[in-house]
Amino acid sequence: MTLVAAVDIGTNSTRLLIADGAREVARESLVTRLGEGVDRSGRLGEDAQHRVLDVLAGFREQIGDARGAAVMTSAVRDAANGAEFARRVEDVLGFEARVLSGDEEARLTFAGATSLRHGTERVLVIDVGGGSTELVLGRAGEVSWHTSLQVGVVRHSERHLHSDPPTAAELDALREDMRLDVPAATVDVAIAVAGTPTQAAAIDLGLTGYDPERIEGHVLTAQTLAEQLDRLAALPLTERRNVRGLDPARAPVIVAGIAILLEVVRCYGLPGVEASERDILWGLALSTTSQM
């Protein structure tokens, strides 16, 4: 068995995938909020860094002798002390940790999201992150274009959603701030990855325990997303944490996340999106395997 460990250190969560080729061996995802306050201060906070480093120390024990690769995205790219944090990550993990460029992030995300597809349809991959949202369009495994939008679940929750529950004025300001100007494109299939769509799928399915097999490929219609946004935005945080299917740790940012996803759906006139577990982690794992 040739094991590969892929680590994704994002703005909102820190995640691990251990894979043997196309077979998943283990997966972990913990909300660590590395990007907390970065939009305001321009720096990664010390407490946030320690939350991530503590999680990575636990990952290191699981990784064992597997070949490892780690990537960091929006929060670390944007932070003045991002390079210093990357060195601390390498010290804990014992292998290279790269801050991805927008091009690299797009390629890996698209590779992961489309790894089970072999057709020639035009696929739009939507990656709703904590600090940014990536849109990647391609077909037959090749990226045609991509863009990185400075809208994210942590960034925009901190900017606009200060009341509990959010006021109508705050929600209006959130929507106005995330009005997108994106390239026109013909899309056959839209795949949404990361915590927002997978949590929305779990809510729609009414799951009492997280079930990746049921979430993979679950279709979220535009109407379903709009109804979820209205419902979740009306709940105080304590009640939102108890919504069936929703990870309580993601409750503080799910409103902004669904609002972002809905805005992309609106921009492209999509009837809905497919939720997928296969994202940048799988792209990184497959890329690392191909280099062995």
DSSP string, 169-207: HHHHHHHHHT---------SEEEEESHHHHHHHHHHHT-
CB neighbourhood size of 186 (10 A): 8
Band of residue 191 on the pLDDT scale cut at 50, 70, 90: very high
| pLDDT tens column, 119-129 | 889 999 999 98
∠ CA 126-187-259, rounded to 5°: 40
Instruction: State percent of the chain over pLDDT 70.
Output: 99
CA–CA distance, 36 with 204 (Å, rounded to integer)? 28
Q: Check residue 235 and give its pLDDT.
A: 98
Q: Check residue 178 and give its pLDDT.
A: 86
Q: Check residue 212 and give its pLDDT.
A: 86
CA–CA distance, 193 with 198 (Å, rounded to integer)? 7
* Average pLDDT value for residue range 208-234: 94
CA–CA distance, 41 with 184 (Å, rounded to integer)? 34
**End-to-end Cα, the chain, rounded Å:** 13
Q: Check residue 119 and give its pLDDT.
A: 80
Q: Check residue 150 and give its pLDDT.
A: 86
CA–CA distance, 94 with 59 (Å, rounded to integer)? 11
With a cut of 90, say whether residue 2 has pLDDT above it: no
| pLDDT tens column, 238-249 | 999 999 999 999
CB neighbourhood size of 179 (10 A): 10
Q: Check residue 38 and give its pLDDT.
A: 85
Instruction: State percent of the chain over pLDDT 90.
Output: 72
∠ CA 120-121-125, rounded to 5°: 120
Per DSSP, what are the bridge partners of residue 27? 17
Q: Check residue 180 and give its pLDDT.
A: 84
**At 233, which amino acid appears?**
A
Q: Check residue 55 and give its pLDDT.
A: 97
CA–CA distance, 15 with 198 (Å, rounded to integer)? 14
| pLDDT tens column, 15-72 | 999 999 888 999 999 999 998 888 889 999 999 999 999 999 999 999 998 999 999 9
Q: Check residue 22 and give its pLDDT.
A: 81
In the chain the domains, ranked by start, together with CATH numbers, are 4-102 (3.30.420.40), 117-276 (3.30.420.150)
3-class DSSP assignment, residue 149: strand
CA–CA distance, 270 with 291 (Å, rounded to integer)? 37
What mean pLDDT, rounded, does the chain reach? Answer: 92
- pTM, 2 dp: 0.89
Please give the radius of gyration of the chain, using alpha carbons only, rounded to the nearest integer: 18
* Average pLDDT value for residue range 170-188: 90
Q: Check residue 1 and give its pLDDT.
A: 58
| pLDDT tens column, 94-108 | 998 999 887 888 899
With a cut of 80, say whether residue 292 has pLDDT above it: no
Whether 126 contacts 190, CB under 8 Å: yes
